[in-house]
Structure 1
Amino acid sequence: MTFKDIAIKNFKFNVKRYISYIGCSLFSITVLFIYSTLLYNKEIERAVKHTPIEGMINMIFGALVVFSFVFISYSYISFTKSRGKEFGLFLTLGMTKKDINRIIRVENSLIVIISLIVGLLIATVFSRVFFMIIVRILNIGIEGYALSYKSYILTSGVFLVSLLIILILTKFYIGKLEITDIIKVSRKGDIYKGYRPLLGILGLILLILSFLLMYFTFTGKISKRTGGMVSLYIIMCLVGLYLTISQFGNILIYFTKKNKEIYFRNIIGLTDISYRFRQYKNILYTITVLSATVVFFIGLCYGVYMGIPDMIKAEQPYDMMYIETNTRNNIPSAELDKILKSGDTKLTEKKHMEFLQMKIATRQKGQYRWWTRFIPIISDQILKEILEVDIDVSRGKAILWKTSDEVMSLSENEKSIKVSDEASGKAYDFQLQGEGSGAFINKSADSTHFIIIDNQDYQRVLKDISKSKVGEFHLFNFKDWKKTESIHDKLLEKILKVNNISTDKDKYQLRYAWKLRLNFVSKVVEYNAMLKENGFYLFIMIFIGLLFFISSGVVLYFKIYNDIEIGKKRYRKLLKVGITDIEMKKIISKELKVMFFIPLIMGSFIGIGYIAIMMMDISIYSELILNSIIVVAIYFLFQMVFYFITKKKYIAEVIE
């Protein structure tokens, strides 16, 4: 009998185990191929170019590659470890480790052929559905659907490279084990690793402390918000989470021992939970992190998507706005009126507000820092008369204003503001009276900050400087803003023409063309763009969330499946001390409930906690939290279904 015959016979005998592993490979191939169709479609590439979606697509594909490698490697390693006795038997019969590796290579050759052929066929069918969903979300007019050979090459390459790395690691794993180690590999988890409840309590303290520090940092009470500080708090949270999960069962025992009646009534369940958490700590930790990631990203995307109408209302008080300066957007009044009256809805309000455009510097530690961004200077009286915004500024002082709370402040530790006219060389100093936030005009890339000064100071500066430094905000409202897209298109065309700008970017891509400085924003375009972008983000996050959910389910499945023999032995031992089938089923149910729902509960708290802290400044904060809770509820429903299916199968295998 050749090695090929042994491998094939072994494959037939262990077909159920192989099906699980092949299923994981098929899943990874399908996901990679389906998503790769986005990378090699020219129409989608054109539609998302120069937008945040372009970077999102590339970043997510990189994440999927890493996910596929981890997913396949874990399933294969679990599959290999479950065959410990089989390898031990081969070695006992005289095979060498080299022979076992040859068998593994033959087996995996069969798996690769089956997985690639079946996986690419399945992916080819489902990729069209995925593609059409993306096209619908992005609102791209694509008539036909075409597959690229690059998708097949890329998917096959990633899968084969992942498998090659896994086989190399498996070779080292087999090479380091002796016969007795391989035979007993499934029993190593029985070793008791210590009763350290105080270590778990320390983990809880680290968890709570990381959230408190994150909160105080985002509210500016202890330190300046930086990427390094946030990363440190996340690491602290992850370390605390691991310590908590590794000692979770011991923490329960530690506290229940304080009430002897409760402890002795639940002693079997408590010790069983403690045992499971010791044995499953790495898996439960991974599932908790995956759950937190899913809740955070899907909750955030879903909350923002559902809150788009409220965000538009808060950030875009006028249906249309453009900024005119001495050199930009100089549209004659007659032509402007003609465009505004050319749409399907009636113009109801038209306002023009003057501002000064000068060089701005803020003072920090005795030195001035000059800003290159566009920061208009506005009179408090003009603001009150034109926009009916009641803000009073004292003589010689200034207020720094942000269009929304989430916009980064420019006034931290600053005491004064200097404005300068380069043409005349004159400069003016103003003491900082304070700062505020709120959208009294439309939020855009070129209108996030303002300097508001007293009207007498404003008139004094206006008298001294060149008229070329005077600009104007043009603000318009219509009867039905959702019907203003045609007006926007005509006004955009006119703005491009008067500024002598020629571009192949569409109106959505031009929102990110900051270097062109169009200074033009429309509520309907912002609304449609936000729906498109956030709809895409939400779909992708749900897609990734399903991957994480399936992967966490597979991780639990492999671990539970590998421990069925251990469960049967435990059941036989408990039978000898008088435990009935009904009692055993209750013990198993409690055990599985803890494994399935504690990681989800902890992950949900972490995910929603980070949303609550990081998004405090967003205008739709309460709606965001509520929608995040809805995501958690849906996640729990899916997990309950998976729990009942697993419980039924596990009880049937162990008891019946």
Structure 2
Amino acid sequence: MNFQGIMKKNMLFHARKYISIYIVYALIVTLLFLFASLLYNEAIIQTLKPSYYQNLQLALGMVVAFSVLFITYAAVSFLKYRGQELGTYITLGMTSKQVIRLLSFEQLMITGISLATGLLAGIVFGKLFYLGFQQFIRIPELTFQLNTASFSITIAIFLSIMMVTFFLSALYIKRLALVQLIRAKTLKDATKGSYLLGFISILLFVGSLWVVPYAMENRHETLLKIAIALTLLTPYFMIGAGLLVMKRIMKIFPLFYQRLMLTLSNVTHRLRAFQTTLYLVMIMLGGSIVFIGLAYVLYASTEEMNDASNPASYMYVTSKDWQGLDEQSETFDFVVDNYARQIQGEWGKPLDIIVVSKTQYENYMHEKITTPALIRNDKELKPFKTPIKWNGTVLKDVQHLSRAVTNSSLFGYNIQEILVVDDPSIYQGDIFTVHKLGHKVSKAEALAYEEKLKSINKVDQIPSQYEPASKELELESDFQRTGLALFIASFIGLLFVLASGIVLFYKVLSDLPAQKEYMQSLERIGLRRREKKQLIRNELRILFFTPFFLSVMLVSYYFYLFFHRFPNTWDYMQKLGLVVIVFFVIQFIFYSYSRVRCEWETNL
């Protein structure tokens, strides 16, 4: 039999081993193709704002970066799993060059099949993918289009990644000694964890959880950054210490300890390898939950937030330099002035603020207030109470209120706060007037009003400070913005989840030869088949669910801190809960597949 025949027989004999790596490659091709088809869809190019389209391009760049990292990781891990097989070929007389040639044939076959099936899957599921995208972005008449550019960019990116991967694989084979190659898949890290380091890490972690809200409340930026960094870094050491501490605590309960003794002993023996893997997966899962959780909350709350930020259907601003509409409206005048806040005993830099007289404010809002009053132009947010200085004088007995006075985007988003004073003489210099139309203005009417304002003022483009605020137009734009954010976050989050699954699966896969030897040793001391199965399942549960629950705990904490000032905080937490449930199901699927594969490989 010649060498080509050996390559073909080897490929067919080990076909089952290639399934996992093939699935990874084909899935990456499908994702790249679907994403590329969006970038070259004419309806998307014409409808999305340039900034939104740039975000889509940036997301593709992130997808490519993740593809490079995790295809490379999967390929090298797969080589490690096959180390004994490749080492055997060398002992039988094959040179490293021939082994690399064998790998190149396998890589070529897997790449070709993955590329073909990945593109086919992209074509088959393209309409469903576009249907989901249309629900997010709400672009009318969006259809799935096949174009040359989508195929070209997908093939070019994927083949480039595979060339880099093959180069790294060849380098791995050349640099690894024969003995290392044969034992590559059985080598373990066997290092001891530090109780002292773990105990200090736990103290720092708990302390930083307390410091974060304190620093946020008092605006200590440096302290906040340090505390956040500690909450993210200390779990690495806590994971290792946790396994050791758990083992020591369980020794107090002999019956319970004996049930898990073998599991804990095996895990703690390879503490460093498990510790690094668990921490890496925790970060990836936490990142994906944050991406998708925040985006989902924003998308699900789009209409609610639009209502809160737009108390009127249509508003605009006029001045001596800008004329308005003939429509009847409610109005109030304001001027732009400077004020300063005192934070931590020091006066900040002067900031622009809208100043309104008490009479005009009360007539417009139909409520009586005491002055001076600082109004936060958002009824959903609590006022930020600090000493105020205006016109060189520190204001006494300032009333801090939260009210929806104008649409948030009015006057170029510069009406964030309003200072109300009982002083009609403020109206000097440049005076602006806010107009609020009393009836509901549709999208068509809003567009017509914009054209009318351009015509009256003889301009082609309305200046940003005079841009009218239409609730209907902003709702459409908000859905595009939050929908695109949710789509991109889901896409990137999916890659994070796949990456964590790949890391965990190949961790299990690379440990299988050692696991076989371990199971044989346990069989010699009398362990039954059912007990060995239970041992494997216990180890896999630690591997798959410890990082999941740690990431959920940390993300939930920061999620609550981020939204706790909002009146409907628990609604947002419930939306995060839905995302967590979906992630748990995905993680359970990875766990179940790895468990079945591990039991099959160890003949259980």
- Whether TM exceeds 0.5 here: the answer is yes
Matching residue of 1:593: 541
Q: Which amino acid aligns with 2:37?
A: T
SS at structure 1 position matched to 2:187: helix
1:424-439 to 2 correspondences below 5 Å: 429-433=392-396, 436-439=401-404
Give the unaligned 5+ runs of structure 1: 338-349, 419-428, 504-512
Tell me, yes or no, if structure 1 residue 194 matches structure 2 residue 192.
yes
| Amino acid corresponding to residue 598 of structure 1 in structure 2 | T
Q: RMSD of the alignment, in Å?
A: 3.1
Secondary structure, counterpart of 1:211 in structure 2: helix
Question: Among residues 435, 444, 459, which one is paired with 1:486 in the alignment?
Answer: 444
Distance 1:626 1:432 in 2: 42
Deviation by residue 1:269-292 (Cα, 9 ceiling, x = unmatched)? 322343465433333222211211
1:327 aligns with 2:327: no
In 2, the alpha carbon distance for the partners of 1:115 and 1:2 equals 27
What's 2:18 paired with? 18
Corresponding letter in the other structure for 1:403: D
More displaced stretch, 600-609 vs 537-546: 537-546
The one-letter amino acid paired with 1:431 is V
| Alpha-carbon displacement from aligned partner over 1:420-466 (angstroms, at most 9, x marks no partner) | xxxxxxxxx442455554423221143432342421x2x1233xx24
Separation in 2 of the partners of 1:620 and 1:524? Answer: 23
Q: Does 1:299 align with 2:297?
A: no
Offset at 1:329?
Answer: 4.2
Counterpart residue number, 2:475: 527
1:474 equivalent in structure 2? 435
Q: What residue is the counterpart of 1:216 in the other structure?
A: 214
TM, length-normalised to structure 2? 0.89
Match for residue 35 of structure 1? 35
The match for 1:416 is: 389
Q: Is the 8 A contact 2:407 2:469 kept in 1?
A: yes
2:559 pairs with one of 604, 611, 627: 611
2-structure distance, mates of 1:105, 1:381: 82
Given the superposition, is the C-alpha separation of residues 330 and 213 from structure 1 closer, same or farther in structure 2, using an over 3 Å criterion? same
Matched, 1:269 2:263: yes
Which of the residues 546, 564, 583 maps onto 2:494?
Answer: 546
Asked if 1 retains the 8 angstrom alpha-carbon contact of 2:25 and 2:114, the reply is yes
CA distance in 1, matches of 2:247, 2:540: 18
1:452 is aligned to 419
Shift of 1:32: 0.8
Residue 441 of structure 1: aligned partner:
406
Which secondary structure state, in structure 1, belongs to the residue aligned with residue 186 of structure 2? helix
Q: Distance in 2 between matches of 1:562 and 1:609?
A: 34
Q: 2:205 aligns with which of 204, 207, 211?
A: 207
Distance 1:148 1:231 in 2: 46
- SS of residue matched to 1:351: strand
Alignment match, 1:403:
378
1:461 equivalent in alignment to 2:426: yes
C-alpha spacing 1:366/1:311, structure 2 compared with 1 (3 Å): closer
Code of the aligned partner of 1:311? M
Indicate conservation of the 8 Å contact 1:292/1:605, yes or no: no
Cα distance in structure 2, aligned partners of 1:149 and 1:213 = 54
Match of 1:569 in 2: 517
Query: Any idea what the Cα deviations from partners look like across 1:212-244, whole Å, max 9, x if unmatched?
Result: 3432232225x13x7xx7665554333212222
Alpha-carbon distance between aligned partners in 2 of 1:351 and 1:549, rounded to the nearest angstrom: 52
SS class of match (1:474): strand
- The residue aligned with 2:136 is 137
Q: Deviations over 1:56-105 (max 9, x none)?
A: 21221111011111121111011111111122112222333233223222
Contact 1:291 1:603 in 2 (8 A): yes
Which residue pairs with 1:313 in the alignment? 307
Deviates more, 1:249-258 or 1:590-599: 249-258
For residue 516 of structure 1, the aligned residue among 464, 480, 494 is: 464
What is the alpha-carbon distance in structure 2 between the residues aligned to residue 316 and residue 619 of structure 1?
A: 17
Question: How far does the alpha carbon of each residue in 1:513-557 deviate from its partner, in whole angstroms, 9 at most, with x for none?
Answer: 8x5333421223333332332233223323333333333223322
* 1:121 alignment counterpart: 120
Name the residue aligned to 2:245.
251
Q: Is 2:273 the counterpart of 1:279?
A: yes
Is 1:379 the equivalent of 2:357? yes
What SS is found at the alignment partner of 1:360?
strand
Distance 1:143 1:292 in 2: 33
Return the alpha-carbon distance in structure 1 between the equivalents of residues 493 and 243 of structure 2.
28
Alpha-carbon distance in 1 for matches of 2:346, 2:30: 60
Q: Deviations over 1:226-266 (max 9, x none)?
A: 7xx76655543332122223443213123334555643453
Aligned to 2:152: 153
Aligned-partner residue type, residue 389 of structure 2: S
Aligned to 1:640, the other structure's residue is in SS state helix
Q: What's the counterpart of residue 103 of structure 1?
A: 102
Change (3 A) 1:88 1:368: closer
**Cα offset, 1:369, TM superposition:** 4.7
Structure 2: distance between partners of 1:245 and 1:87: 35
2: CA distance, partners of 1:277 / 1:19? 30
Contact 2:381–2:402, Cα closer than 8 Å, also in 1? no
Aligned pair partner of 2:503 in 555, 563, 574: 555
Name the CA distance, whole Å, in 1 between partners of 2:108 and 2:600. Answer: 34
Cα displacement string for residues 170-214 of structure 1 (whole angstroms, at most 9, x for unaligned residues): 23322222111111111211x521142333333333433443343
Q: Report the counterpart of residue 88 of structure 2 in structure 1.
A: 89
Q: Is the 8 A contact 1:324 1:471 kept in 2?
A: yes
When residues 406 and 105 of structure 1 are mapped into structure 2, their CA distance, relative to the original with a 3 A threshold, is: farther
CA offset digits 1:291-333 (Å, max 9, x no partner): 111221211122222223332333222232222222224223x
**Is the 1:296–1:608 Cα contact (8 Å) retained in structure 2?**
no
Contact 1:304 1:534 in 2 (8 A): yes
SS in 1 for 2:459: coil
TM-score, normalized by length of structure 1? Answer: 0.82
Task: Please give the alpha-carbon distance, in whole angstroms, between the structure 2 residues aligned to 1:181 and 1:408.
Answer: 65
| Maintained 8 Å contact 2:375/2:403 | no
Question: Aligned partners of 2:204 and 2:2: how far apart in 1?
Answer: 57
The question of whether the paired residues in 1 share the 8 Å contact of 2:505 and 2:590 is answered with no
Give the 3 Å change call, closer, same or farther, for CA 655–96 of structure 1 in structure 2.
Answer: closer
Q: Which amino acid aligns with 1:399?
A: L
1:509 corresponds to which residue? none
**Contact 2:383 2:401 survives alignment (8 Å):** no
Cα distance in 1, alignment partners of residues 153 and 45 from structure 2 = 17
Distance 1:605 1:328, change over 3 A: farther
Alpha-carbon distance in structure 2 between the residues aligned to 1:113 and 1:550? 22
**Out of 364, 367, 371, which is 1:393 matched to?**
371
Structure 2: distance between partners of 1:72 and 1:96: 26
